[in-house]
């Protein structure tokens, strides 16, 4: 409200208060607001942790996280495998979190770059730590078997999970043949299609060529015939703890 | 007998003694009016904004934490109201857009202890050239030199890092010196 001042600002304001035109908001209003802000900030932070850990899990599960050990082409494969939709959600929730906590002295007293990098560091380290637990793997398996409710199972499928680039394959070795092996390509529609991988003297094998049956590997290479690829690089996918 | 503190009066208002709010108005009316006049350069507009500041302060007094100082709390409300008034007045211009100064860390400013001569010069320059300074630099100048606030209090009022307060004050002083120099040059030229 904006009453006109006649006998000074103070008199007008006090008159408005006495006549009940101006009301003091109750304490619970501010306590509720603080509680909602804090709850919102905690939820945004936990959501960020979950999204980052899900992104790391996807990259690890597809083997894209290990592709850089093949050199520049591997880095490019990793870049093309990044879950951009999840990264978009990270940006959105990060902005929400910054907006909610910017009123707190421990945030505005620090330069924005420090508070942003601080939150990013915590979220990234926390996300990587969560990605190393069996949580997402268990959820993924449950989602594939239809044990998860629809909204949750949607988190573990497309489009959140980026499709592998055309020259990247990952799956379990089901047969070792002369000069290569056969793997069950997890990117095929039913997840059971096989791909023959041929190794050449130029194939990059950062962890050697002692591949065993049942091992999960990531392969970057070019298709030389239908269902057959010539490997540019092959390495095993580190399995999750307790898996 | 020592005077009752602002915080003690604020607690009485919180407890329902609405007349005690009149004492807070009496204590801050002149200070905030001076702050508004320097910041907004329009006495009529400033009075309206000050009235809104006190109304907002009364409405929100229950959010005041009595373990902290009252002064930065009410100045924060005033800052918000002034910025809103400027935004209304300069609808087409950005008053307080994103500021790179708050983004990167700065070295702690070492120039807080101004010499008496420098302080006198700055105060004189504020009187004559304040209108030439952008709002984001003008405000720390007013709070530091005219309202005698320290860096920490200004940091709480503007909700920016303490180091940024130092940076803005240093830049504002340079701007004032520049404005004073140009003014002197203009006067000298006209005299010739």
CATH code where residue B134 lies:
1.10.10.10
Peptide bond into B91 cis (omega under 30): no
What's the token pair of residue A41? 């900030």
Which residues of chain A have a CB within 8 Å of the CB of B51? Answer: 2-3, 5, 9, 12-13
Question: Region A53-64: what's the mean pLDDT?
Answer: 92
Position A240 pLDDT exceeds 70: no
Shortest CA distance from B159: residue in chain A: A108
Please tell me the predicted confidence (pLDDT) of residue B108: 55
Give the pLDDT band (50/70/90) at residue A1: very low
Q: CB-based contact (8 Å) between A105 and chain B?
A: yes
Predicted TM-score (pTM) of the model is 0.78
Q: Are residues B91 and B109 in the same domain?
A: no
Give the pLDDT band (50/70/90) at residue A151: confident
- Smallest CA-to-CA distance from B42 within B108, B88, B96, B111 is with B88
Q: Are residues B77 and B106 in the same domain?
A: no
Residue A221's H or E segment, with its range, is strand A216-225
How many Å from the N-terminal Cα to the C-terminal Cα in chain B?
61
Q: Are residues B70 and B157 in the same domain?
A: no
Which of B66, B95, B124 finishes a domain? B95
Position B43 pLDDT exceeds 90: no
Please tell me the predicted confidence (pLDDT) of residue A143: 85
CA A55 to chain centre: 2
What's the token pair of residue A141? 């398996």
Which of B76, B95, B114 finishes a domain? B95
Please tell me the predicted confidence (pLDDT) of residue B95: 54
- What ipTM was assigned to the predicted interfaces of this complex? 0.76
Burial group, residue A95, by CB count within 10 angstroms (0-12, 13-18, 19+): exposed
Q: Are residues B137 and B189 in the same domain?
A: yes
A25·B102 Cβ contact <8 A: no
Q: Do A177 and A189 contact (CB within 8 A), yes or no?
A: no
A16·B55 Cβ contact <8 A: yes
Which residues of chain A have a CB within 8 Å of the CB of B163? Answer: 111
| B106-120 burial: b if 16+ Cβ within 10 Å, else e | beebeeeeeeeeeee
Answer positive or negative: Cα dihedral of A191, A197, A203, A209: positive
Q: Are residues B85 and B28 in the same domain?
A: yes
A25·B105 Cβ contact <8 A: no
Q: CB-based contact (8 Å) between A16 and chain B?
A: yes
Facing B58 at nearest CB: one of A9, A12, A24: A24
| B24-33 burial: b if 16+ Cβ within 10 Å, else e | bbebbbebbb
Q: Are residues B153 and B190 in the same domain?
A: yes
Which of B33, B68, B95 finishes a domain? B95
Where in the sequence is the domain holding B119, given as residue range(s)? 97-192
Picking from B33, B161, B162, B164 by the largest number of A CB atoms within 10 A of its own CB, the best residue to mutate is B161
Domain locations in chain A as residue ranges: 27-160, 168-236
Please tell me the predicted confidence (pLDDT) of residue A2: 43
Position A8 pLDDT exceeds 90: no
Q: Are residues B74 and B148 in the same domain?
A: no
Q: CB-based contact (8 Å) between A20 and chain B?
A: no
The percent of residues above 70 in pLDDT, for chain B, comes to 77
Q: Are residues B82 and B169 in the same domain?
A: no
Facing B22 at nearest CB: one of A10, A26, A113: A10
CA distance to A109, A173, B59, per residue, from B28 (Å):
26, 78, 16
Which residues of chain A have a CB within 8 Å of the CB of B50? Answer: 9
Please tell me the predicted confidence (pLDDT) of residue B107: 59
Q: Are residues B159 and B89 in the same domain?
A: no
Which residues of chain B have a CB within 8 Å of the CB of A101? Answer: none
CA B186 to chain A, closest CA, distance in angstroms equals: 40
**CATH class given for the domain over A168-236:** mainly beta
Whole-angstrom distance, CA of residue A167 vs CA of residue B165 = 54
**Backbone dihedral angles phi then psi of residue A235, each to the nearest 5 degrees:** -155, 160
Q: CB-based contact (8 Å) between A29 and chain B?
A: yes
Whole-angstrom distance, CA of residue A221 vs CA of residue A209 = 16
Q: Among A44-58, A126-140, B127-141, which stretch is predicted with the lowest mean pLDDT?
A: B127-141
The domain total for chain B is 2
Q: Are residues B33 and B105 in the same domain?
A: no
Count residue pairs from A and B with Cβ separation < 8 A: 84
Q: Are residues B101 and B192 in the same domain?
A: yes
At B63-121, the pLDDT tens digits run 999 999 999 999 999 999 998 888 887 764 555 555 666 666 665 555 554 566 677 77
Q: Which residues contact B145 (CB under 8 A, 6 or more apart)?
A: B119, B122, B123, B126
What's the token pair of residue A17? 């208060």
Q: Are residues B84 and B104 in the same domain?
A: no
Q: Do A222 and A232 contact (CB within 8 A), yes or no?
A: yes
Q: CB-based contact (8 Å) between A144 and chain B?
A: no
Q: Any idea of the CA torsion for B51, B53, B57, B63, to the nearest 10 degrees?
A: 160
Q: CB-based contact (8 Å) between A13 and chain B?
A: yes
């Amino acid at each position: 409200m904006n009453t006109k001042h006649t006998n000074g600002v103070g008199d007008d304001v006090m008159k408005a208060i006495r006549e009940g035109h101006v009301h003091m908001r109750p304490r619970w209003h501010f306590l509720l607001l603080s509680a909602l802000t804090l709850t919102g900030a905690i939820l945004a932070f936990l959501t960020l942790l979950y999204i980052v850990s899900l992104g790391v899990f996807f990259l690890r599960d597809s083997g894209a996280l290990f592709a850089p050990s093949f050199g520049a082409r591997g880095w490019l494969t990793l870049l093309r495998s990044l879950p951009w939709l999840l990264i978009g959600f990270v940006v959105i929730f990060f902005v929400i979190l910054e907006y909610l906590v910017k009123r707190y002295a421990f945030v505005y007293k620090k330069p924005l770059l420090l508070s942003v990098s601080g939150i990013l560091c915590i979220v990234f380290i926390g996300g990587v730590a969560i990605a190393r637990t069996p949580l997402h793997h268990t959820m993924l398996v449950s989602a594939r078997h239809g044990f998860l409710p629809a909204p949750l199972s949607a988190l573990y499928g497309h489009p959140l999970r980026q499709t592998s680039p055309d020259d990247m394959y990952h799956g379990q070795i089901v047969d070792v043949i002369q000069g290569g092996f056969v793997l069950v390509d997890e990117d095929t529609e039913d997840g059971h299609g096989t791909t023959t991988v041929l190794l050449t003297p130029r194939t990059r094998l950062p962890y050697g060529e002692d591949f065993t049956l049942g091992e999960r590997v990531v392969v970057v290479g070019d298709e030389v015939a239908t269902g057959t690829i010539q490997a540019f690089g092959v390495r095993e996918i580190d399995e999750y703890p307790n898996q | 007998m020592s005077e009752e503190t602002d915080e003690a009066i604020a607690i009485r208002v919180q407890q329902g003694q609405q007349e005690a709010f009149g004492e807070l108005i009496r204590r801050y009316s002149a200070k905030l009016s001076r702050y508004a006049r320097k910041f907004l350069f329009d006495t009529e507009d400033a009075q309206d904004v000050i009235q809104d500041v006190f109304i907002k302060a009364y409405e929100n007094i229950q959010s005041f934490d009595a373990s902290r100082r009252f002064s930065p709390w009410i100045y924060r409300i005033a800052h918000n109201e002034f910025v809103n008034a400027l935004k209304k007045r300069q609808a087409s211009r950005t008053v307080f857009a994103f500021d790179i100064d708050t983004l990167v860390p700065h070295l702690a400013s070492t120039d807080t202890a101004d010499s008496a001569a420098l302080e006198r010069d700055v105060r004189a320059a504020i009187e004559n050239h304040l209108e030439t300074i952008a709002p984001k630099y003008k405000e720390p100048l007013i709070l530091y030199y005219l309202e005698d606030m320290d860096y920490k209090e200004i940091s709480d009022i503007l909700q920016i890092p303490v180091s940024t307060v130092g940076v803005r004050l240093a830049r504002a002083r340079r701007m004032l010196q520049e404005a004073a120099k140009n003014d002197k040059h203009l006067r000298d030229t006209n005299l010739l």
